[in-house]
Amino acid sequence: MSDDLARREAEELARRSAELVAEVIARPEAGDEERLVEAALRPKRLEEFIGQERVREQLSLVLESARRRGRPPDHVLLSGAPGLGKTSLAMIIAAELGTGIRITSGPALERAGDLAALVSSLSEGEVLFIDEIHRIARPAEELLYVAMEDFRVDVVVGKGAGATAIPLEVAPFTLVGATTRSGLLTGPLRDRFGFTAHMEPYTPAELERVIARSAGLLEVPIDAAGAAEIAGRSRGTPRIANRLLRRVRDFAEVRADGAVTRGVAREALAVYDVDELGLDRLDRAVLEALVHRFGGGPVGLSTLAVAVSEEAETVEEVCEPFLVRTGLVVRTPRGRVATPAAWRHLGLRPPGPVDVLPLDLGDAG
């Protein structure tokens, strides 16, 4: 096979794959009204983004410098818990640069060809956003190294001894990666990002501002006390705050006069099993199992998950981070332990002093 013919085949393969990937990415989910509402509530510019002041300041410098140089900014890595605004910031980066954005996720990039097709179809200066980038498959990750550094991908045409690697030039682009588990990123991938930012949980005051802004966009009458009540139960997360606001709105429209006050918010959140700390049904089930069934622990993660009829991964990734952050649960070398605060939150008297050894050395099964 001649080099010209191989190159044409490689380019055609990349083009067809890119069209397929783009179609999958853009395909709307049937009945996904909640996602459409969330998208409408996202801030569109950096000045509209509430909270994360340090990250916003640093990012504004990176973007302004790139605009003055007339070149795409360095690749950006955003880390932090789910719901803190990583996707919103990726979209804002594209908006501030006046360019388009392609959105995909790490698990969707199973083969190197998937990534090659995607990056080879990017226009100059375009933003590529990869959510959960720590879950990208190793073959795709290795190809991503070259794409990020040299703006080039190698497409393999043929099989076996007759296979030929055809280098394809990639237009300069900016990769924005988002991760909830930055520790799982490989060193080579992390080192290729020119700017990294860690996003912290929001304060109640910041969440009140988020709720007030969202209520205005949704045309929901809300007073300061109602916003404060929702903010206090939002676990430091804007996504949760917006979700609770919509549920409180539903309650207010059906069982009240449509306005959200502190009393209405409390009644609504009680109906939806969200307590004053922001714990939901599963969080309380974990605490109650830990206290009632295991005497406060220590108990292994897998045993605790079985007790609440959930997967261990769900307990570890969905419930545990917030329970640990609020001081209700401690991870120890022997397993999970309920703190005195957890006993008091359940209306129980704490036992005597507990040796919790708060060292995160793994789980005792």
**Burial status of residue 95 (CB atoms within 10 A of its CB: 0-12, 13-18, 19 or more):** middle
pLDDT digits (tens, 9 = 90+) for 123-156: 888 999 999 999 988 888 888 888 888 888 776 6
> How many angstroms separate the first and last alpha carbons of the chain?
56
| Confidence (pLDDT) at 49 | 92
Record: fold of 3-198: Rossmann fold (3.40.50)
| Confidence (pLDDT) at 193 | 92
Active site residue 87: yes
Residue ranges covered by each domain of the chain: 3-198, 206-271, 281-345
Active site residue 179: no
- Is the fold of 3-198 the same as that of 206-271? no
Record: fold of 206-271: Helicase, Ruva Protein; domain 3 (1.10.8)
Q: With a cut of 50, which residues of the chain have pLDDT below it? A: 1, 5-6, 9-11, 13-31, 355-365
* pTM for this prediction: 0.79
Q: How many Å apart are CA 215 and CA 322, to the nearest integer?
A: 25
In CATH, what is the architecture of 281-345? Orthogonal Bundle (1.10)
| Confidence (pLDDT) at 36 | 65
Query: Among the options 86, 233, 235, 249, which is catalytic?
Result: 86
Query: Among the options 87, 104, 261, 339, which is catalytic?
Result: 87
Query: Among the options 102, 233, 235, 239, which is catalytic?
Result: 239
How many CB atoms are located within 10 Å of the residue 278 CB? 21
Query: Among the options 114, 131, 280, 363, which is catalytic?
Result: 131
| Confidence (pLDDT) at 163 | 58
| Confidence (pLDDT) at 246 | 92
Nearest Cα neighbor of 116 from 145, 78, 75 is 145
pLDDT digits (tens, 9 = 90+) for 71-89: 889 999 999 988 898 999 9
Active site residue 190: no
| Confidence (pLDDT) at 142 | 84
Active site residue 180: yes
Query: Among the options 180, 237, 303, 332, which is catalytic?
Result: 180
Active site residue 3: no
Nearest Cα neighbor of 97 from 72, 61, 128 is 72
| Confidence (pLDDT) at 162 | 55
